[in-house]
Amino acid sequence: MSNFEYIISSLPILTADYRYEDGEGFRSVVDQIHSELSEKDAEALDFLLKGFRPEELNPDFYACALSHPVKFLREFFRFDLNLRNAKVGFLNRELGRPDDLDLITGLGTEEDENLDIDLYRFRGGEFEEEMEVASALAQDSLLEREKTLDEITRKKISSLETFHYFDLTAVLAYVAKLHIVNRWLALDPETGRALFHQLVDEVRGTFGGVNYTEK
């Protein structure tokens, strides 16, 4: 069994001005977390990490994600699928391409297994952030667009970890947020550090419930 209290309470050692040491990076932080998890929980983390690799984001991956036994993974990748399709749809319109080109719809054929009556392997489902994402995509600045989309993603992650303090969801949410921070540390160090500061503050807030004040 994973010692979640130990894992979560260890995370704030990453300070607001944290920078990777030579030879270290996102992978080294994740490896440390991974080493403390049970085999079953480590498999859930591995699935999350798989979803960070663009080459893995295909119908087969989302079919597995949307039926995953871990609720955080189901809901995070449902959001991720809808966000991805929103981006693709926006680019299709901007470039004058067919509306449905490169969208991942989950639509199968009569020969596919696990189809519902409408021949879908899976559906994206409700996309609560649709209007917010559309507004972000309409921004002229590519940098501001990406920042806004990542902020929407971060807020989604926060909503999924509500009332989860010392469990697998808290760990997966931390890694998902850290992945966003890591991207900005590579693209824009100032923005990455600000996001990291925000993440550390949120993690510190898990101690003793939701109210934690560092003395």
What pLDDT is stored for residue 2 in this prediction?
82
pTM value? 0.84
What distances in angstroms separate CA 151 from CA 13, 107, 121, 195, one per listed residue?
23, 30, 30, 9
- Are 175 and 30 contacting, i.e. CB atoms less than 8 angstroms apart? yes
Is the pLDDT score of 12 beyond 80? no
Return the minimum-mean-pLDDT range out of 64-68, 108-112, 137-141, 179-183: 108-112
Residue 45 contacts residue 37 (beta carbons within 8 Å): yes
- Indicate the range of 25-39, 48-62, 90-104, 192-206 predicted with least confidence: 192-206
pLDDT at 129 over 90: yes
pLDDT (mean) for 156-185: 91
**pLDDT value at position 56?**
95
Q: What CA–CA distance (Å, rounded) separates 74 from 84?
A: 15
Query: Which of 93, 27, 101, 108 is closest to 62 using CA atoms?
Result: 108
Rounded Cα distance between 48 and 198, Å, is 21
C-alpha separations of 25 from 38, 99, 166 in Å: 23, 38, 24
Q: In the structure, what pLDDT confidence band is assigned to residue 29 with cuts at 50, 70 and 90?
A: confident
What's the mean pLDDT in 37-42?
96
Q: What pLDDT does 26 receive?
A: 85
In terms of residues, how long is the chain? 215
Task: Name the pLDDT band for 19 (thresholds 50, 70, 90).
Answer: low
Do the beta carbons of residue 194 and residue 37 sit within 8 Å? no
Task: Name the token pair of 20.
Answer: 């990777």
Nearest to 163 by CA among 215, 101, 205, 214: 205
Please check whether residue 168 is in contact with residue 212, taking contact to mean a CB–CB distance below 8 angstroms: no
Tell me the pLDDT band of 110, cut-offs 50, 70 and 90: confident
Contacts of residue 213, defined as CB under 8 A and 6 or more positions apart, other chains included, come to none
Phi, psi (degrees; rounded to nearest 5) at 120:
-105, 135
User: How much of the chain is in helix, strand and coil states, percent to nearest 5?
Assistant: 60, 0, 40
Q: Could you tell me if 70 and 164 are in contact, meaning their C-beta atoms sit under 8 angstroms apart? A: no
Listed by start position, the domains of the chain span: 4-204
